[in-house]
Structure 1
Amino acid sequence: MSLLTTLLRLEAAETEQAQDASTIRHFHLTERPMVFLPLNRSGTEATPLAVMYGDDRSRPQLLVAPPRGRPTEFLDDLADGILTYIDSFQHTTERLPARGSRPARQRYTHAPQLLVANRKSVPYIERLGRALRFTETPEGTDPARSIGRLGQWLTFFAEHAEYPGSAFLPALTELLTSHWVTGQSPLEDEHLAALMAWIRPPAGTTGLHAALAAEDPQLRRPAGPATDPSFDTFELDPLLTAYDTAAEEGNTAAMTRHTDRLRDLLHTYLHPTWNDAWQALALLRSLPQTPDAHRRWDADRDRFTAYSTYLADDGRPQPIKDDAVSAARRLARLEQAQGAFEARRAMEDPFVMAERRTSGEALAGTVIDTDPHHTITGPSGRPLLRPRFTLHTTDPVRLDTGSLLAGPHNPRVHAAIRSITPRDGGTDLLLEITTLTGTVAKPKPDSVPAVEDHLFLTLAPEFFRQPPFPSRDDTPWTHGGPQHDHPAAALEAAEEAQP
């Protein structure tokens, strides 16, 4: 938690009202997302109790796992519902022209998006996908509509939820807390009803009192993936015990009656959170979306297209574990993406820029000197125009010489730090412009700030680059290569082909 967020949380606690943290949205919300609310059976890792899902607020779909036996029919119905939703995005494509070394290609014009209530639902979906993706497809059935294929897609969504900026599987509580800060703990913020009460309390009450009322287990229970302990003890367990007794006695009428009661009970449990989720979605839609969110969604559509193609061409499930090569490359991609994502957020959002200033990852300062005609000698021996300017700041500086900076005043202009000198209770940074400089004969003066200009700068997104890795052919077998026929290699190739 940053210093700025801590101060806002203290102010929210003092005023009993949520505080605005950001007025722009950094994640894309599709026109037709699917709200997905899973409940897990207590005491087991990934055994569903029920799921409420759908892409229409007025038509929630509720699936309830049987009290006894294997939930095959439940999973078949879930696979049919989710895969039908995914399939609806695999019919319309757009053609992207060749660009540089990248050939022309087709890309789906839209992509699916699953919205879950809270962060804990994301790893649950990952566990569920892992448990299902190796399920064998019965003979005579379509693998593309199978439980195993559902597991593969759930794994796909969960893996990309780890990718910074991806909007395939966002948690609503995470999106909301990036825009509003409450006076309760981050753990309490995971209760969607309480969080929404803080943000939009009923008229005549405060966020604190509205949240306390929303936390009443008799009114609204935290929906997913774990059930409320009091609900288990006083309502769910007695009903399941009664069902077991009826089953042992062979009383089919009682079994049917208890099954209907179970469905009604779980509908009553999940439906308030269903409404909260759609209210949260409407609230988030009211915020303007940043341009970079559109660009990241384009990258998500590329990944969706690539994975759909992989399933059609190969279709093998993701490995149980990454080999050493895949794990190293995946970690490097995530680190690079995290740095670039945070930098781009700072370029578009004053609140994020202010947060980064408190941590030394960004700074604000005044230009005190410029050298617009500074040159260096290029590799060919010819002079290259590299204008310089000096920025004085009183912010803490935790950046190194060589770091590449950019600012919202002109994001395409990058400036490398050439020296850092403490002076007069602050710091002087000598910065050298490396992009959009023009030539010695035809300089671009607009790239050089003027003396007394006040600038906000942070690490440029382009500063974060993935380190080079050897090919699988050059990797010893002890470290995962070469395995050209391994599904990890095909998935990795599809991932690295994205821009």
Structure 2
Amino acid sequence: MSRLSTLLRLEAAETQTVQDASLVGHFHLTERPLIFLPLNRSGTEATLLAVMFGDDPARPHLLVAPPNGRPTAFLEELADRILTHIDSFQNTERLPAKGGKPARERHTHAPQLLVANRKSIPYIQRLGRSLRFTDTPEGSDPARSVGRLGQWLTFFADHAEHPGSAFLLALTDLLTTRWITGQSSLEDEHLAALLAWIDPPPGTTGLSAAIEAENPQVPGPDGQLRRPAGPATDPSFDSLELDPLLTAYDEAAKEGNTAVMARLTDRLHTLLRNYLTPTWDDAWHALGLLRSLTPTQDSQRRWAADRDRFTAYRSYLADDGRPQPAKDDPVSAARRLARMELAQGAFNAHRALEDRFFMAERRTTGEALAGTVTDTDPHHTIPGARGPLLRPRLTLHTTDPVRLDIGSLLAGPHNPRVHLAVRAITPRDHGTDLLLEITTLTGTVKKPRTDSVPAVDDLLELTFAPEFFRRPPFPSRENTPWTHGGPQHNHPAAILETTEEPQP
């Protein structure tokens, strides 16, 4: 947490009122996202007790696993409904060849899963891992199987680890990017309490509303209890309501009393519906608040990259269909790690260029800086293969902490397409002088572009240019030595290794 976020959190605690941290949305929100609220059985890693899901706030679907016995029918119905939603995204667009890339098809829309909190994301990953190797019964359609559901859940969960991807998002993460509360980050994972801070009832403060929301015995404004949003159930709910009902069901099953078992099953459905419905309503309330934010240009670019990945994976499933391996081979692991590290750097840079609050945060950590232009050389040139190249230079004086290296590529909100390379760093006068060289939009020696060169006394804010974060070259799989796990066969983990995000 940066100093700026800490100060705002202290301000929120002092005033008992949420503080604004941003006015833009850094993630694309689709017109028809799927809200997915899982509940897990106590003491098991990824065994669903129930799940409420849907893309219509007025029509939630609730599926409840049988109290005992095999959950085959439950999982098959869940797979059919989720895969029906995914398969509803059929329309494609034709993209022309560009920059050495051949023409290709891309889906115009893609599915998006929204969960209540951050803990639900690794749970979906574990659930996908436990289901994706499920055998398809003979005569059944593999495209509608439980194993295929596991593959798609793994796909969503894997991309949730990719910085900037919008396939699977936690609502608490999206809300805390926009608003800062006076409670701890751990307490912010309670969706009801977080919303109470952000949008308290009239006449109350965020703090008092959050305290009531965190008390599972105090009904909310609609008369319903605000339980923790899962995936784990509330311990008091387990001991006082769920466990006695399941115990009674087991006893009735031993006695073969089907009438009692049917009544207890109905009670279980009602109990879990009452448990999940408040979180369902909170999720759509949160989505409504988030839709008020203006989406950034980069969020649309990243969503286009997500649609490329969705198209590639869907094509893979149609052509091959093998599940993701239990773990990455060394080549895939190295490529995935590099891809995620560089994506994180580029995502942070884009956020800073489009969000003044995030730029201010990066200034406190030395990843961005502000300074005054003290000197310019708009006619500076460097040797080129066909003659001199125009590379204007300027000197920027800053009192911010500087944690840059020679060669770092910078950009600023004044014109993100203008890139400035760091050529020298000189401590001076209780600050630092940076010698910067403009490398883009310079024009030529005969026709220079003066609008790319700032004037003396101009104030600039700069951070790393997103284009500074480029994937290092990797040998092909065929040329990877056996000491590093190659050569490898093609498998789902390798599909995205050559997928590059479109540049603005």
Per-residue CA distance 1:124-158 (angstroms, 9 max, x = gap): 00000000000000111100000000000000000
Alignment check: 8 A CA contact 1:132 1:147 kept: yes
Find the residue that maps to 1:248 and give its secondary structure. Answer: helix
Instruction: Give runs of aligned pairs for residues 218-233 of structure 1, distance below 5 A.
Output: 218=217, 219-233=225-239
| Counterpart-to-counterpart distance in 1, 2:85 and 2:148 | 13
Is 1:123–1:158's contact at 8 Å kept on the other side of the alignment? yes
Q: Describe the SS at the equivalent of 1:346.
A: helix
TM-score, normalization by structure 1: 0.98
- CA deviation vs aligned residue, 1:42-64 (integer Å, no higher than 9, x gap): 10000000000000000000000
For residues 502 and 460 of structure 2, the distance between their equivalents in structure 1, rounded to whole angstroms, comes to 33
Shift of 1:112: 0.3
The equivalent of 2:65 in structure 1 is 65
* Alignment correspondent of 1:323: 329
Instruction: Tell me the CA shift for residue 492 of structure 1.
Output: 4.2
Structure 2 counterpart of 1:451, one-letter code: V
Does the residue aligned with 1:178 lie in a helix, a strand or coil?
Answer: helix
Cα distance per residue 1:49-95 (max 9 Å; x no partner) = 00000000000000000010111111111101100000000x21111
Spell out structure 1 runs of 4+ moving beyond 6 A. Answer: none
- Whichever residue aligns with residue 374 of structure 2, its letter is I
The amino acid of 1:342's aligned partner reads N
C-alpha separation between the residues in 2 aligned to 1:463 and 1:214?
A: 45
| Cross-structure match for 1:438 | 443
2:279 corresponds to 1:273: yes
Q: Name the counterpart of 2:148.
A: 149
Percent of aligned positions with the same letter in both sequences? 77
Structure 1 residue 493 displacement after superposition: 5.0
Q: Does 1:353 align with 2:359?
A: yes
SS of residue matched to 1:170: strand
TM-score by length of 2: 0.97
Give the corresponding residue for 2:220.
none
What is the identity, as a one-letter code, of the residue corresponding to 2:188?
D
Where does 1:236-247 land on structure 2 (aligned, <5 Å)?
A: 236-247=242-253
Contact 2:11 2:182 in 1 (8 A): yes
Aligned pairs for 1:459-498 (under 5 A) are 459-489=464-494, 491-492=495-496, 495=499
Give the deviation of 1:482 after TM superposition. Answer: 1.1
| Cα displacement (A) at 1:496 | 5.5
RMSD after superposition: 1.2
CA distance in 1, matches of 2:341, 2:259: 57
- Please state whether the residue corresponding to 2:294 is helix, strand or coil: coil
Q: Deviations over 1:326-377 (max 9, x none)?
A: 0000000000000000000000000000000000000111111000001111
Task: Give the equivalent residue in structure 2 for 1:399.
Answer: 404
Please tell me the residue identity of whatever aligns with 1:328: A
Do 2:336 and 2:497's aligned partners in 1 also have CA atoms closer than 8 Å? no
Give the structure 2 partner of residue 368 of structure 1: 374
Residue in 1 aligned with 2:423?
A: 418
User: Residues 469 and 485 of structure 1: is their aligned pair in 2 closer, same or farther, counting only changes over 3 Å?
Assistant: closer
1:413 and 1:172 map into 2 onto residues whose CA distance is 34
Give the corresponding residue for 1:216. Answer: 215
Corresponding residue of 2:32: 32
The alignment covers a number of residue pairs equal to: 496
Equivalent residue letter for 2:390: L
| 2:386 equivalent to 1:386 | no
CA distance in 1, matches of 2:70, 2:389: 71
Contact map agreement 1:160 1:168 (CA 8 A) in 2: yes
Name the structure 2 match of 1:130. Answer: 129
Aligned counterparts of 1:487 and 1:344: Cα–Cα separation in 2: 29
Report the CA distance between 1:494 and its aligned residue. Answer: 6.1
Change (3 A) 1:361 1:281: same
Name structure 2 gaps, 5 residues minimum: 218-224
Task: Tell me by how many angstroms 1:485 deviates.
Answer: 4.4
Q: How far 1:197 sits from its partner (Å)?
A: 0.1
Deviation at 1:478, TM superposition (A): 3.5
Partner of 1:82: 82
In structure 1, the residue matched to 2:414 is 409
Task: Tell me the distance in 2 between the aligned counterparts of 1:122 and 1:183.
Answer: 25
Output the CA distance in 2 between the equivalents of 1:486 and 1:395: 47
Deviation at 1:220, TM superposition (A): 1.0
Deviates more, 1:282-291 or 1:473-482: 473-482
What is the aligned partner in structure 2 of residue 121 from structure 1?
Answer: 120
Bigger mean CA offset, 57-66 vs 218-227 = 218-227
Specify every segment of 5 or more residues in structure 1 that has no aligned partner in the other structure, as ranges.
Answer: none
TM-superposed CA distance for 1:382, in Å, is 2.2
- What pairs up with 1:452-463 in 2 under 5 angstroms? 452-463=457-468
